[in-house]
Amino acid sequence: MDADPYAGFPPGFFDRSDDGPDAGFYDRPRLVTHIDDGAIAAVGALYAELGIDGAASRPTRVLDLMSSWVSHFRTPPAELVVLGMNAAELAANPAATQRLVHDLNADPRIPLPDDDVDAAVCCVSIDYLTRPVEVLAEVGRVLRPGGALAITFSNRCFPTKAVRGWLATDDQQHGAVVAELVRRTGRFTEPTVALRTPPGPGDPLYAVVATRTG
């Protein structure tokens, strides 16, 4: 990772209009879904395609980053570590086998050992990270070599908590930004960017996917 992992991004790109403590914003559970049924189905289809859900040929241990009360797997993996901000939301997640309440904007270190998980996912939350390269580098640390990273996003967000650069760019640019953030960690293969839902009505679902290098 470069000495300045954000060199070249405009000043203030990762600032937010509400820079107050995230613990206060997320202090009450929000037991709702943040994308529609079509986008949720696309997330589950992606996880199945990557072979990281419970239908995989071997048991998998998956980290769900910035998680909530639902993780959108068609079939939950054998072990699912959910990391998020609200204890009640994580407690309500029926697929979880391990729960970590942790604020990645306050501390980008992930409280797991090296090479601990087979895959890592982050669903509709990457836009809230103020230090995303450090967090994604940590994902690379806890992933086993060859493990998949899948970051999905749509066109919804909490605008006061999303970083300014996300709000100033469109969906296609979001894919390029996320891919560049993954690239700057130096821990992954070249990321791919794809629209996972058909054009038309409904929430679009985009995915950035990469693999942990050996």
pLDDT in tens, 24-73: 666 676 655 678 999 999 999 999 999 999 998 888 999 999 999 999 99
| Residue 33: per-residue pLDDT | 67
CATH architecture of structural domain 22-211: 3-Layer(aba) Sandwich (3.40)
More confident residue, 146 or 160: 146
DSSP bridge pairs for 120: 63, 149
DSSP code, position 138: H
Domain positions in the chain are 22-211
pLDDT value of position 27: 67
3-class secondary structure, 99: strand
pLDDT for the residue numbered 13 = 96
Per-residue confidence band for 22, with pLDDT thresholds at 50, 70 and 90: confident
The pLDDT of residue 2 is 63
Q: According to the 3-state scheme, what is the secondary structure of 150-190?
A: EEEECCCCCCCCCCHHHHCCCHHHHHHHHHHHHHHCCCECC
In whole angstroms, give the CA distance from residue 63 to residue 107: 17
